[in-house]
Amino acid sequence: MQTFLSCVHGAKSALPKSALFAFNFCADAVVKASMGRVLALPFVQRDAKLKKDVFSGVQREVCMVENELARLKKLFPKAKMQVGGQAGFGALTAHSLGVKPTVFTAQKSHFPSLRNLPVHFVFEYCARGGKRSRLIAAHEEKNMIPSSVPKKMHGFSHIFLGGFHLLKTREDMLRAARMLMLLKKRNPDAKIFVEAGEFLEKECISAFRNSILPFADCVGLNEVELHQLTGKKGKAALHILSKKVRKIVFHSPNSAFAFPKEKGDAQALLFAKIVASYAAKYGKRPNLKELGKYAKEARSLYVKKPKYTVGLGDTFSCAYFLVR
């Protein structure tokens, strides 16, 4: 479609040459399972609210302890391993679009290697009524946030941050805020995007709102995360959160928008939808040539049976941020 193709052509000149991605870079163990198999998982059986959400198809993320992780590895030895984490998915998206990603984490691993990375299990399934959903069982090491900022971490125009939702305590969040302050000092002109995520510890929510969001130019989230951060839904939630951060990018399988709405948002959102649509249909991030061909031939961006769903929100957010 010409509208899609024009959008892709226009985005090419807006893409930066490089971008920085921090803090959660992990290995995703992806398992396609039946809803019954997911409901039978021990950690699901112990949580009545989680069981209800799995049955209804609400996307959830929960935290595992090490022995549960070891059990899952034995139960699913053939899980598909791939780069994951909000920063990891963002870096993959940038790399495919011709933007050089620098990944900044505490782990001694180099993008896109999976060595020495924490493992998250991602269960993709069909819930009641055929609704596609996923359950993420996360396990994050205590030292996810680096202890210092290397001298080379400067000169970036775009910084994409994730992983705050996995932090365990308010003190961890404040330590992350200090690291963010140092990054901002090294890169005073950089645009900073924060992907929210579903917080695993309630005590971290207010610290995230008050200590992390003020540094951000934009935050990306879905309906569950928006409600978690504000206690409200719909426009009321957006107005509350907009007092903490200048721009909100909302993304879900059925809706995507920027708040408050500004000039340039529509094209950036459309570009992000095209990138995410391609990723859903083909199971990989596109380069610009592939994206141009897809944009020219596509009549709709809706993908009835996506190859995968994990990371599509992060892919969408990153594509929007890079051209906005």
Which range has the worst mean pLDDT, 89-98, 144-153, 217-226, 254-263?
144-153
pLDDT bracket for residue 147 (50, 70, 90): confident
Q: Which residue bears the tokens 């500004």?
A: 262
Beta-carbon contacts of 1 under 8 Å, excluding residues fewer than 6 positions away, are 295, 296, 298, 299
Tokens of residue 151, six digits: 């001298």
Tokens of residue 289, six digits: 């040539």
**219: nearest Cα among 200, 203, 197, 237:** 197
**221: nearest Cα among 165, 301, 270:** 165
pLDDT bracket for residue 308 (50, 70, 90): confident
Indicate the length of the chain as a whole number.
Answer: 324
Co-location of 70 and 150 in the same domain = no
Rounded Cα distance, 104 and 20, in Å: 7
Burial 261-295 (b: 16+ CB within 10 A, else e): eeeebebbbbbbbbbbbbbbbeeebbeeeebbebb
Please tell me whether the peptide bond between 112 and the residue prior to it is cis, using omega within 30 degrees of 0. yes
What is the number of domains present in the chain? 2
**Tell me, what CATH number does 46's domain have?**
3.30.1110.20
Tokens of residue 55, six digits: 């049955």
Give per-residue pLDDT as tens, 213-239: 999 999 999 999 999 999 999 999 999
Co-location of 188 and 319 in the same domain = yes
Beta-carbon contacts of 227 under 8 Å, excluding residues fewer than 6 positions away, are 233, 237
Co-location of 147 and 210 in the same domain = yes
Query: How high is the pLDDT of residue 53?
Result: 95
Co-location of 69 and 165 in the same domain = no
Co-location of 62 and 189 in the same domain = no
Average pLDDT of 127-138? Answer: 89
Rounded Cα distance, 1 and 297, in Å: 6
Co-location of 125 and 158 in the same domain = no
Co-location of 251 and 297 in the same domain = yes
Average pLDDT of 272-289? Answer: 96
In DSSP notation, 141-181 reads -TT-S-SS--TT----SEEEEE-GGG--SHHHHHHHHHHHH
Query: How high is the pLDDT of residue 253?
Result: 84
State which residues form the domain around 15.
2-25+85-106+141-323
In DSSP notation, 112-125 reads T--TT--EEEEEEE
Co-location of 133 and 147 in the same domain = no
Query: How high is the pLDDT of residue 56?
Result: 93
**Tell me, what CATH number does 175's domain have?**
3.40.1190.20
Query: How high is the pLDDT of residue 277?
Result: 97
Co-location of 220 and 198 in the same domain = yes
pLDDT greater than 90 at residue 185: yes
Co-location of 61 and 161 in the same domain = no
* Burial class (CB within 10 angstroms; exposed 0-12, middle 13-18, buried 19+) of 156: buried
- The answer to whether residues 37 and 75 touch, using CB atoms and an 8 Å cutoff, is no
pLDDT bracket for residue 85 (50, 70, 90): very high
Phi, psi of 192 (to 5 degrees): -115, 125
The number of C-alpha atoms within 13 Å of 170 and in the hemisphere containing its C-beta is 7
Beta-carbon contacts of 104 under 8 Å, excluding residues fewer than 6 positions away, are 20, 21, 22, 23, 87, 146, 153
pLDDT greater than 90 at residue 149: no
pTM comes to 0.90
Rounded Cα distance, 141 and 25, in Å: 11
Co-location of 55 and 94 in the same domain = no
Co-location of 294 and 201 in the same domain = yes
Query: For residue 283, is it left (φ>0), alpha (ψ between -120 and 50) or beta?
Result: left
Query: For residue 101, is it left (φ>0), alpha (ψ between -120 and 50) or beta?
Result: beta
pLDDT greater than 80 at residue 194: yes
